[in-house]
Amino acid sequence: MKNLLFASLFLTLACSSIENRNPTGEAFPQVTGRSLEDNVVSLPGDVAGAPAILLVGYVQETQFDLDRWILGLLQAQTPGQLLEVPTIEGMAGLFSDSIDSGMRSGIPSEDWGSVVTLYDEDAARVVRFTGDQRPRNGRVILLDSTGNVIWFHDRGYSARHLLELDSTVRSLLPVEETP
């Protein structure tokens, strides 16, 4: 039975391919995931009110790309919320406890709150929203305070695009009034 579940999971993941698309200007789909701290997180609702950068990954090999984005954003001190969003469609939800436990073992506990995993239909909504061709490339999505996508990139890490993203985030922040 266990082998059948893994075979079904592999076939589901291997056979699905949705053409990549740029969702800039669209509302991010309503999805619910769970942080590695085990808190339920609704997107985009729980990040509303401020700019939020979602770093979406569809396969484990995406981590290298996302780590470069995270490092660059932290070094640039890009303001706003930053969430890593592993997105696993198919029957992976059956193994969510095991998958989440594996992720916890490789991520420092102080960062668990910023990792929100989406499974099953919630994951499928995001896949349909961005496409899943070239799955090793992360999907970098900037949401405005209302949950609309205002910046998107899915072609791999680029320092030039990181600076563009940083500038776009900063342009969304209120200008501090000087006395």
65 in a structural domain: yes
pLDDT at 15 over 70: no
| pTM assigned to the model | 0.86
What CATH number corresponds to the domain at position 149?
Answer: 3.40.30.10
127 in a structural domain: yes
pLDDT digits (tens, 9 = 90+) for 34-52: 999 999 999 999 999 999 9
* Cα distance between residue 21 and residue 127, in whole Å: 10
Host domain of residue 40: 26-172
157 in a structural domain: yes
CB proximity list for 78: less than 8 A, separation 6 or greater: 53, 165, 166, 169, 170
151 in a structural domain: yes
pLDDT digits (tens, 9 = 90+) for 67-122: 999 999 999 999 999 999 999 986 655 566 777 777 877 788 898 999 999 999 99
9 in a structural domain: no
CB proximity list for 127: less than 8 A, separation 6 or greater: 16, 18, 58, 87, 89
150 in a structural domain: yes
Instruction: Give the model's pLDDT for residue 99.
Output: 75
21 in a structural domain: no
What's the number of domains the chain is made of? 1
